[in-house]
A and B are shown apart, each in its own frame.
Chain A
């Protein structure tokens, strides 16, 4: 496996503001993903973070709301823009190390007031 860290671990934000979440891996990985986990729910894929090109978004998620950067093979950011209380969730990054198994970061707990 790999060591995956996320910053911040949690935050409380005012509606209308934006928050950028960082995901750092201790080794180079090909595939990185961003997920959202709403309170009491399962995980939903937001997008695939592509190194050197635009992220690939899932249905229901758009770049204007969730811009993603992936400047290299060990780092990615997800921004939650123009936040509303409905954006209160846990945001998780994951990576594929080998054999299709995905490993997750510890998550960023976001509360929007």
Chain B
């Protein structure tokens, strides 16, 4: 099935560093969602974006809905070891309830 292109595929960073990842699509989306999945768990919703250009924060996390409606960005500031996990973007098109997921960014944080 269709998937969104997510980059980078993996990141290995030092504690305290900032992190940026993005998600791109050839199609326009109406909603962008960002999830984090830790080992042995289901994905947990971090941020939901509903409007082009929208910038939303959740603690140290900030996500933006791209103006073109074809991309979204997630930034994590001052990373900590518990940020470790796989981050997935997901997009929702018009007149559908079906989410399309990104390929995931695996984040590893070293103390």
Contacts and interface: CB of A to CB of B under 8 A. Distances in A.
Interface of A: 1, 4, 31, 33, 42-45, 48, 58-60, 92, 96, 99-107, 109
Contact of B42 (A58, A96, A107): A107
A31 B97 contact: yes
B45 A1 contact: yes
A106 B42 contact: yes
Nearest to B103: A42
B7 to A, nearest CB: 13
B72 to A, nearest CB: 14
Interface string B84-98: 000010101000011
A42 to B, nearest CB: 5
Given A4-B42, A100-B30, 19 more contacts: A31-B97, A33-B98, A42-B102, A42-B104, A43-B43, A43-B101, A44-B1, A45-B1, A45-B99, A58-B1, A58-B98, A60-B1, A99-B48, A100-B97, A101-B31, A101-B48, A102-B99, A104-B43, A104-B44
Contacts of A102: 33, 45, 90, 99
10 contacts: A33-B98, A44-B101, A48-B97, A58-B1, A58-B98, A92-B42, A101-B31, A104-B42, A106-B41, A109-B40
B interface, size bucket:
20 to 34
Interface of B: 1, 3, 30-31, 33, 35, 40-45, 48, 50, 88, 90, 92, 97-99, 101-104
Contacts of A106: 41-42
B41 A107 contact: yes
Given A31-B97, A42-B3, A42-B103, A99 B42 contact: no
